[in-house]
Amino acid sequence: MKSTFILKTTLPAIIISLVLIASSLNAEGTPMDLSQFRWKNRLLFLFAPNRSHPLFDVLQKSIATQQAEVADRDLVIFEILESGTSRLDTSDLDPQVAQSLRDKFDVSPGRFAVILVGKDGGTKLNRQEQTQLEDIFALIDAMPMRMEEMRQKSRTGESE
């Protein structure tokens, strides 16, 4: 009877402790596990010092006006900022996670960069200059996996 009481009262405390430990590990800058996107999504990383950076602003506005094309290409957008809130699509990213992504892709402070990661996890584009969304789309559309996706859609009658 005593052991059942102890188990019932300490088990929730143990679970809460494990959750807190796990969340504090991520808060300390453990890199984001990008493998969760492999074979499902292409990843587009936009790195900038802040949201008002001119190259970031132009590309972000293009993305906002072409959401159907972004979705059609299975793109997940990461906005990684040094100041301001970084985002994964519409979700906020912890600043340490954003910094770990900046470190992973070796983007220096104060720099703008566009990095495209394919569904296979490989880096397909890495530019630190103005990049048009149409150029990114053209690069994706030339990839063998994307060409197969487009063939599959045309066979099933889906619109592009």
pLDDT for 106? 96
Mean pLDDT of all residues in 7-24: 37
Kindly state whether residue 23 falls inside one of the protein's structural domains: no
Calpha distance 35→16 (Å, rounded) = 27
- Rounded to the nearest 5°, which phi and psi values hold at 18? -65, -40
pLDDT for 7? 43
**Residues 140-160: pLDDT tens digits?**
999 999 999 999 988 887 654
Kindly state whether residue 148 falls inside one of the protein's structural domains: yes
Please give the tally of structural domains in the chain: 1
**Structure token digits, residue 124:** 């397909």
Kindly state whether residue 11 falls inside one of the protein's structural domains: no
Entry pTM: 0.78
pLDDT for 158? 62
Kindly state whether residue 5 falls inside one of the protein's structural domains: no
pLDDT for 153? 87
Kindly state whether residue 21 falls inside one of the protein's structural domains: no
Which residue segment(s) compose the domain that 61 sits in?
A: 34-156
Question: Is the model's pLDDT at 101 over the cut of 50?
Answer: yes
- What CATH number is attached to the domain comprising 135? 3.40.30.10
3-12, 64-73, 90-99, range with the lowest pLDDT:
3-12
Kindly state whether residue 70 falls inside one of the protein's structural domains: yes
Kindly state whether residue 88 falls inside one of the protein's structural domains: yes
- pLDDT averaged over every residue in the chain: 84
Kindly state whether residue 149 falls inside one of the protein's structural domains: yes
C-alpha gyration radius of the chain:
20
Question: Is the model's pLDDT at 113 over the cut of 50?
Answer: yes
The SS3 assignment for 111 reads coil
In this structure, the number of other CB atoms found within 10 A of the CB of residue 122 comes to: 8
Q: Tell me how far CA of residue 147 lies from CA of 41, 130, 140, 154, 159, in angstroms.
A: 15, 26, 9, 11, 14
